[in-house]
């Protein structure tokens, strides 16, 4: 591989930030460090999924967390992502490896840069209100965002880098395309902001839909992970201890699922994660309780989830837990097809103790059964909120 070229068009506004979070890097716009972050996340998820399905990633009870990976499992994932796939890792005792890839972003069509000190912005001539902006602009703070840009992302192999691993590096490149298709870049990238249409790919052969991309990536991950003969299967597997692109169900729960929904509004998708918007669409009143709130299950949409001394509070040392539901939105030019892509990661890395504070208070003990139920209820509410039926993409 000499280089991979990916042409990208913005499908939703982006809040990527700069040295100051509220600013925009007007040289790159899409900062390579931001792309590398989401790339590594999905590379780890693919490796973890392969390990899990082979019985090599089981985790252990985590005290403050329902289940967490063992120290050895964390090391193995880091080594495969860093060495085999070429994304680099620190390692210990001189065992680290530098990245074999270099990213470069070229601006093909300069995006429009705007600022706002409130929750509403104008997108393609239409005024929209975004939940993320409501949080970022509390106290009338000014935030800058950009939209309408076209970019060329060039991925090059570093000259003189360590020995090439063709299978591992191909897996890394497919992980990048997956990341750009089911996540965005920047703030609220899991909630529909910063979504990018992949409109052209040079240097890698890809299929016509996300299912084929995932099938190819999954098979490569199985092959790359399977080369590590030092790993031994373990018994007693529950949900994965980390988000994993895995196929094998446990107790009827799918660790990873990808859906596509057409004919929906990306603003509605983004705002699903705030209670008042869910209630307004489902009950007609922003002050009423939606089903997730009534069942005390809204924590599944991400933690912390509190305001003015009420909401869900995490017990123990854990500080936060991002939503396991990812939302990305694509236009018709996206090579894998337009619409909303909703991916769901069922894993056990949740705080074991939560406290709900409202009119009263209630202690919640979280286990794998409750995680699975809350996630299923959240998806059911999402489909009802959207008023649309999803199409299963994978597995």
pLDDT per residue as tens digits for the range 160-195? 666 678 899 999 999 999 999 999 999 889 999 999
Mean of pLDDT values over 8-35? 85
Task: Tell me how far apart the alpha carbons of residues 147 and 14 are, in angstroms, rounded to a whole number.
Answer: 6
How high is the pLDDT of residue 308? 66
Q: 264 — phi, psi (to 5°)?
A: -115, 165
pLDDT digits (tens, 9 = 90+) for 199-253: 999 999 998 899 999 999 999 999 999 887 667 787 767 999 999 999 999 989 9
Question: Which residue has 């060039």 as its token pair?
Answer: 154
In order, the DSSP letters of 265-277 are: -HHHHHHTTSHHH
Output the CA angle 187-188-193, nearest 5 degrees: 100
State the chain's mean pLDDT as an integer.
Answer: 89
Q: Give helix then strand counts, H and E, for the chain.
A: 9, 18
pLDDT digits (tens, 9 = 90+) for 305-353: 666 677 888 877 777 899 999 999 999 999 999 999 999 999 999 999 9
Q: What is the largest CA-CA distance in the chain?
A: 63
Give the residue numbers spanning the domain of 117: 3-394
The answer to whether the pTM exceeds 0.85 is: yes
Quick one: pLDDT band at residue 284, thresholds 50, 70, 90?
confident
Count of domains in the chain? 1
pLDDT above 70: percentage of residues in the chain: 90
How high is the pLDDT of residue 170? 95
pLDDT digits (tens, 9 = 90+) for 285-309: 777 888 898 899 999 999 876 666 7
Token digits of residue 18: 């700069």
Token digits of residue 387: 């008023």
Q: Which position has the higher pLDDT, 42 or 129?
A: 42
Handedness of CA 333, 336, 337, 343 (dihedral sign): negative
Beta-bridge partners for 394: 258
Task: Tell me how far apart the alpha carbons of residues 239 and 226 are, in angstroms, rounded to a whole number.
Answer: 21
Secondary structure (3-state) at 156: strand
pLDDT of 93 higher than 60: no
pLDDT of 139 higher than 70: no
Taking alpha carbons only, the member of 49, 63, 84, 57 closest to residue 350 is 63
């Amino acid at each position: 591989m000499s280089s991979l070229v990916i042409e990208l068009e913005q499908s939703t506004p982006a809040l990527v930030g700069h040295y100051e979070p509220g600013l925009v890097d007007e040289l790159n716009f899409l900062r390579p460090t931001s792309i590398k972050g989401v790339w590594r996340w999905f590379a780890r998820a693919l490796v973890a999924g392969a390990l899990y399905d082979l019985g090599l990633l089981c985790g252990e009870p985590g005290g403050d967390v329902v289940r967490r990976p063992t120290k050895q499992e964390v090391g193995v994932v880091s080594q495969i992502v860093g060495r085999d796939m070429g994304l680099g890792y620190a390692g210990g005792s001189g065992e680290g490896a530098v990245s074999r890839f270099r990213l470069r972003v070229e601006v093909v069509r300069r995006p429009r840069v705007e600022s706002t000190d409130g929750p509403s912005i104008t997108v393609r001539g239409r005024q929209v209100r975004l939940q993320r902006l409501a949080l970022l602009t509390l106290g009338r703070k000014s935030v800058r965002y950009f939209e309408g840009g076209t970019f060329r992302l060039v991925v090059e192999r570093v000259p003189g880098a360590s020995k090439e691993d063709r299978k591992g590096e191909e897996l890394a490149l497919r992980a990048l395309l997956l990341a750009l298709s089911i996540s965005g870049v920047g703030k609220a990238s899991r909630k529909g902001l910063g979504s990018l249409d992949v409109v052209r790919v040079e240097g890698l052969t890809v299929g016509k839909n996300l299912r084929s991309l995932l099938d190819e990536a999954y098979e490569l991950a199985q092959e790359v992970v399977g080369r590590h003969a030092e790993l031994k299967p373990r018994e007693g597997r529950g949900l994965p201890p980390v988000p994993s692109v895995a196929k094998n169900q446990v107790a009827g729960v799918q660790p990873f699922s990808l859906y596509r929904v057409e004919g929906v509004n990306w603003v509605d998708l983004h705002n699903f994660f705030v209670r008042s918007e869910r209630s307004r669409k489902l009950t007609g009143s922003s002050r009423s309780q939606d089903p997730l709130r009534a069942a005390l299950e809204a924590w599944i949409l991400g933690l912390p989830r509190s305001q003015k001394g009420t909401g869900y509070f995490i017990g123990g040392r854990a500080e936060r837990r991002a939503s396991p539901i990812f939302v990305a939105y694509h236009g018709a030019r996206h090579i894998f097809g337009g619409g909303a892509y909703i991916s769901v990661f069922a894993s056990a890395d949740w705080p074991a103790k939560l406290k709900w504070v409202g009119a009263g208070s209630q202690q919640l003990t979280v286990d794998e059964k409750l995680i699975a139920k809350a996630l299923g209820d959240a998806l059911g509410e999402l489909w009802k909120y959207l008023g649309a039926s999803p199409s299963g993409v994978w597995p």
